[in-house]
Amino acid sequence: MFRSTAIFFAAVLLFACQNGSASKPPVAATPAADNSQADKSQKTTPFEAERAFAHVKAQVEFGPRPAGSAAIEKTREYLVKELKSYGLTPVLDEFTETTPRGKVKFKNVIAEIPGETPGTIIISSHYDTKEFKEFKFVGANDGGSSTGILLELARVMAADKQKRKFTYQFIFFDGEEAFCAEWSQCLNGKDNTYGSRHHVAKLKKEKQTDRVKAMILLDMVGDKDLTIPREETSSAWLVSAIWGTAQELGHRKQFPNRPFSIGDDDHMPFLRAGIPAVDVIDFEYGDGPEDNSYWHTAEDTLDKISSQSLKIVGDVILLSLPKIEAQIR
């Protein structure tokens, strides 16, 4: 994600509050307002919060998980074992990139549920953590929470034997985090999103970009004080489907109807390639509202994560998929 300083982040939010918008014009459509006639017959799903939380805990226990480390290899083995237990066949897409630390091997983990058509909807997360030498960074929220949710989404969807119209891919991206201190400090701003950029480049090379109909990115979604504003660089119709579903389910507080721009994250390579994409991210991760003081600090620990937040996000994503599929058709 865009690795600005906390001061810059606060300034952007203050400007947004004073002017009624973020620094760039919102591109996301405003979700329909709640009304008493909304279909609220299904408010929950088989998504199990405690399973998702256990996945977050397992990752944290591996310790810091920067790309190329022994700990991320253990995490990868954990992901593969879990996905296989759901009856899926995970594929490791290995590639090497030049980084500020020299040549580094990365591995995206991909599992697929085939649909009636090759048209594909991607649900994704990054599973690496940023490397810090000054302190121990375990990334419970930043990397851990979204990866835990993605595993549980894969389990629930794999267990549903109903044939789906579209093919679903669950992609765990390696190398989202920058090796340098700041997001755009090194390699002309390309010291980041290694896994997602590689995947999109591969799609282009194989002339498969048209096959991907939508990409949903989860990032930092386990905060106890869950607050996920509409990410304004995201595709408007995907924002409308997800935030509209959240409001129908009574999660207006967790998915507020206000714009916010992260600037960059693993969804951006897809958008640049013309693939619809959305970033579901809670960057207000700190001691209070509109505060991100836990982000990229030693405070990003398991005690800051809520199984209830994981459940809310899991349910919202699962129940928004029929709307997303309908829009694609």
3-state secondary structure the chain: CCCCCHHHHHHHHHHHHHHCCCCCCCCCCCCCCCCCCCCCCCCCCCCCHHHHHHHHHHHHHHCCCCCCCHHHHHHHHHHHHHHHHCCCCCEEEEEEEEECCEEEEEEEEEEEECCCCCCEEEEEEECCCCCCCCCCCCCHHHHHHHHHHHHHHHHHHHHCCCCCCCEEEEEEECCCCCCCCCCCCCHHHCCCCHHHHHHHHHHHHCCCHHHEEEEEEEECCCECCCCCCEECCCCHHHHHHHHHHHHHCCCCCCCCCCEECCCCCCCHHHHHCCCCEEEEECCCCCCCCCCCCCCCCCCCCHHHECHHHHHHHHHHHHHHHHHHHHHHC
**Res 223: pLDDT:** 96
**Res 284: pLDDT:** 94
**Res 125: pLDDT:** 98
**Res 2: pLDDT:** 45
**Res 42: pLDDT:** 64
Domains located in the chain, CATH noted:
6-27+44-328 (3.40.630.10)
For the chain, 329 residues long, the average pLDDT of each consecutive 10-residue run is 40 37 34 38 87 98 98 98 98 98 98 97 98 97 98 98 94 98 94 98 98 98 97 97 98 96 95 98 89 96 98 98 95
**Res 39: pLDDT:** 43
